[in-house]
Structure 1
Amino acid sequence: MWKHHASCLKKNEAEKNQTPLGQDELQQDIQERGRYALCRMIVLDEQPYTVRSDCVKVSLEEMELLKVVFSRPGMSRVSITIDCWTGVNNKSFICVTSHFIDKEWRLHKKVISFFDITSHKGDDIAKVLIKALTNWGIQRLFCCTMDNAKNNSVAIKEMKSTINARGMLVSNGQYFHQRCVAHILNLAVVRVREAVKWINGSSTRSKTFKNIAKVCKVDTKKLLCQDVPTRRNSTYLMLEAVLPYKPVMKLFSNVTPQFGRDLRNLKHNDLTVSVPREEDWIEVRKMCSFLQSFYVMTRLVSGTTYATSFSFLMEMCDIFLIIKRLEDDEDVEIRHMAKKMMEKLGKYWLEGDELNPNMNKILYIAAMLDPRQR
């Protein structure tokens, strides 16, 4: 901030020679520049909003600038990504992110809406999405990425019937609905998740656990982390982090009897939760061995700073090959899990004798235009 203040003084001194300003006006201008720089620092560094009114002002100014970008005559088509979820307070939220390419061929990602909604019903989602597009002045759309849930399919249908009448879509909306590639995993690791949650739920418990880890000579640089059940990448990271702590977890349960008692009192879909057992650790190790591949794949197809549509074909082929190998695994549970994963994946991408109606054929065109795949 001091550096910025000094640069402002130099700039204002130069401007002063061109346009005379009084001392009071000069001081006011310096203060305004400083407040603006402070706001940008707080927003970009994701600090608590200690200067709320100024941050709101900056946000409104940035919104107007983005509206100008969307309204330019040469503006490319905009794709949007929708994410819906329910918070711990049972409130429903929706986030709308826009993706577009400017005239310099730079990929942009801008969050254009983030708010709570009355429900995740298809009609309600469609209404808020159409309102967001109207408020931002977006006139030309390419595709909308959502998963294949029933409510989302209803929302897509409602949106297409409304915005296609305005001539906003390509080929009457034939390529509008893009299923989310990253939603392919559905694995439950309840015992590990609840154990990590219990340990991290108190600073005293966490400190005791770390002390025991030192006794067991386990490196504590990689801390225990709790996953988000709907984000399978975080599930892999949780399992990877907890594996070295296997002997620590056992000793901790002996030293802290309340650990086991509290977990046994939990119920999850009629399953009694407990401290992770030996067979649980075997399963965790197996999961990590192949979840790592999906973690890498998911990161590749979930990029935000680079295009992913042209690379999807090779990644999807690799995913199919991995699951095919898992279907022949000697472990019965792994084979069963692979079968479920293939069924889930097949709803979006698998094609048999006839073309899958859920498959967006525009992705094949993107892959064909990639010279590396010829």
Structure 2
Amino acid sequence: MVDETSASASIDQPLPSQLIDSSQNEMPPLTGPTPPTPPLVAIDPASNLAQDCGPENVSRKRKEPAKKSKQSQVWEHFVKLPLEETNREVRASCKYCHATYACDPNKHGTTSLKRHFPKCPKNPHKATTIPKQSMLNYVTPSGQGGGLVSHVFNQKRCRRALAKFIICDEMPFRIVEKYGFRNFVRELEPRFRIPSRTTVARDCWQLYLGEIKILKQVLKKSANHVCLTTDCWTSTQNFNYLRLTCHFIDPEWKLHKRILNFSMIENHRGDTIGKTIEKCLLEWRIERVFTITMDNASSNDTALSYLKRRLRNWKGMVCGGDYLQLRCCAHILNLVVNDGLKELKNSFDAIRNAIKYVRSSPARLQKFKSVAELEKLDTTSLVCLDVNTRWNSTYLMLESALKFQKAFERLEDEDEDYMGQFIGGTKREGPPKASD
């Protein structure tokens, strides 16, 4: 064997036939023992030094076969098409409906195939779900710092969240059929199938039944004794309603408030109220009652006497029920204030009638605003009316009217209709004077 280095070096030398035949310059014979093979040299990547890798040092390990890349499960339901049929574009065909989609791994991937699989009309494996890649969503829990959590679309969770939206924001069921809401949901999450208003009403009812079970378990395990508050009123349609609210402290000393029932009752008689409350307590399996807070109506005294007899048999009262009844302090304060306001009824009526005239139409309100600007008064917030059952609203009405006293006095001179309501057959109390 001839060394490559010596062979390359001998290229520029003259051929043997051109040499002079002499004994002194005779070519060495080409035959003879073969020169030894130089040892193999390998470079160690860690040390960058040449190492001897001769036959005695070469490890004879078999090469391990390359691991196959993990293939998506979607290919169990799709088949790749020949490139000749697709104009050299990588496409796949559904095995069931034969719809074709682009699936070039460098451009599209298998996303379009996964989207088609659950929507395929001829798919016999609709119940089968292909594993989806979860998305990261930034969530900020109440009272805690935000963080990234994995999110995967779920139709049931979305319908439950929609039911909570209807309940918490007091929205009508028909909002799911409005164009604006449906368009907003499609832009937000196209995969969500918006249910009908009948389905939403059914979801709200199922959510209510689920919350009842949870609250019953909490009351059974955590609440030793509960405090109840109740109130009755009549709607504008002459329907009578009763609301029962429960207050309790959990083992971690946190106060909780839950509305147990919102029931329709026949009348406001004491026996009717007592029996309705008893029925609610039986439904919730509440036997240990600490106090019941009611207003000062005489019918509530009768209702409380009825409940004492029932709770005494249940052995759930404290101190024999001597402290069972608590009278509503807000109701007592409202009665005291209204009784005192009767002494100034004429002045209040005069101011109230003047404000009613100003707020009866936009034109009159604008006229009053222009008059106030002439008196150089701040018209950012104008006068307001009160509510008979809320004495604090009467205070707010008087407070706002006092700021516009000069405007009311000027309105008497510039608006004939304003003075006309206090004169004639429909005479009313007013107009308010400086003493009022």
Task: Give the TM-score normalised by the residue count of structure 2.
Answer: 0.50
Q: CA deviation at 1:36?
A: 2.4
1:342-362 deviations in Å (ceiling 9; x for gaps): xxxxxxxxxxxxxxxxxxxxx
CA contact (8 A) 2:287 2:311 kept: no
Q: CA deviation at 1:105?
A: 0.8
Change (3 A) 1:23 1:111: same
User: Paired residue for 2:9?
Assistant: none
| Residue 64 in structure 1 maps to residue 213 in structure 2 | yes
2:129 corresponds to which of 1, 10, 22: 22
| Residue 91 in structure 1 maps to residue 247 in structure 2 | no
> Map of 1:35-50 to 2, 5 A cutoff?
35-49=159-173, 50=175
1:234 corresponds to which of 385, 393, 396: 393
SS in 1 for 2:256: strand
Paired residue type of 1:274: G
| Residue 274 in structure 1 maps to residue 398 in structure 2 | no
Change (3 A) 1:33 1:156: same
**Distance in 1, Cα, partners of 2:305 & 2:271:** 9
CA contact (8 A) 2:353 2:428 kept: no
User: Paired residue for 2:147?
Assistant: none
> Map of 1:218-367 to 2, 5 A cutoff?
218-252=377-411, 255-259=414-418, 261-262=420-421, 272-280=428-436
Q: CA deviation at 1:265?
A: 8.5
**Distance in 2, Cα, partners of 1:91 & 1:254:** 47
Paired residue type of 1:140: R
5+ long unaligned stretches in structure 1: 1-19, 281-374
SS in 2 for 1:85: strand
2:284 corresponds to which of 122, 136, 158: 136
**Distance in 2, Cα, partners of 1:135 & 1:264:** 60
Paired residue type of 2:129: G
Q: CA deviation at 1:90?
A: 3.6
Change (3 A) 1:201 1:77: farther
1:67-109 deviations in Å (ceiling 9; x for gaps): 2222x23413111112223334443332222211111111112
Which of the pair has the greater relative contact order for Cα pairs under 8 Å at 6+ separation?
Answer: 1
Paired residue type of 1:110: R
SS in 2 for 1:227: coil
Change (3 A) 1:225 1:95: farther
CA contact (8 A) 1:212 1:248 kept: yes
CA contact (8 A) 2:421 2:428 kept: no
Change (3 A) 1:60 1:175: same
CA contact (8 A) 1:78 1:98 kept: yes
Q: CA deviation at 1:262?
A: 4.8
Change (3 A) 1:181 1:208: same
User: Paired residue for 2:320?
Assistant: 172
**Distance in 2, Cα, partners of 1:164 & 1:210:** 63
1:291-330 deviations in Å (ceiling 9; x for gaps): xxxxxxxxxxxxxxxxxxxxxxxxxxxxxxxxxxxxxxxx
SS in 1 for 2:435: helix
SS in 2 for 1:41: helix
Task: Give the TM-score normalised by the residue count of structure 1.
Answer: 0.58
Q: CA deviation at 1:258?
A: 4.4
Paired residue type of 2:158: G
SS in 2 for 1:279: coil
Q: CA deviation at 1:157?
A: 1.1
> Map of 1:76-87 to 2, 5 A cutoff?
76-87=224-235
Paired residue type of 1:245: F
Paired residue type of 1:68: Q
Identity fraction in percent: 36
| 4+ residue runs over 6 A deviation | 263-267
1:138-169 deviations in Å (ceiling 9; x for gaps): 22111111122211111111111222221222
**Distance in 2, Cα, partners of 1:255 & 1:23:** 78
> What is the root-mean-square deviation of aligned Cα atoms in Å?
3.5
CA contact (8 A) 1:264 1:273 kept: no
CA contact (8 A) 1:100 1:107 kept: yes
1:110-153 deviations in Å (ceiling 9; x for gaps): 22222442222212211222122222222211111112221111
5+ long unaligned stretches in structure 2: 1-126, 135-151, 177-199, 343-347
Paired residue type of 1:137: R
**Distance in 1, Cα, partners of 2:424 & 2:238:** 24
Segment drifting more, 158-167 vs 56-65? 56-65
**Distance in 2, Cα, partners of 1:64 & 1:216:** 63
**Distance in 2, Cα, partners of 1:36 & 1:254:** 62
- As a proportion of its length, which structure holds more helix? 1
Paired residue type of 1:244: K
| Residue 154 in structure 1 maps to residue 280 in structure 2 | no
SS in 1 for 2:221: coil
- Which structure has the bigger radius of gyration? 2
**Distance in 1, Cα, partners of 2:172 & 2:423:** 38
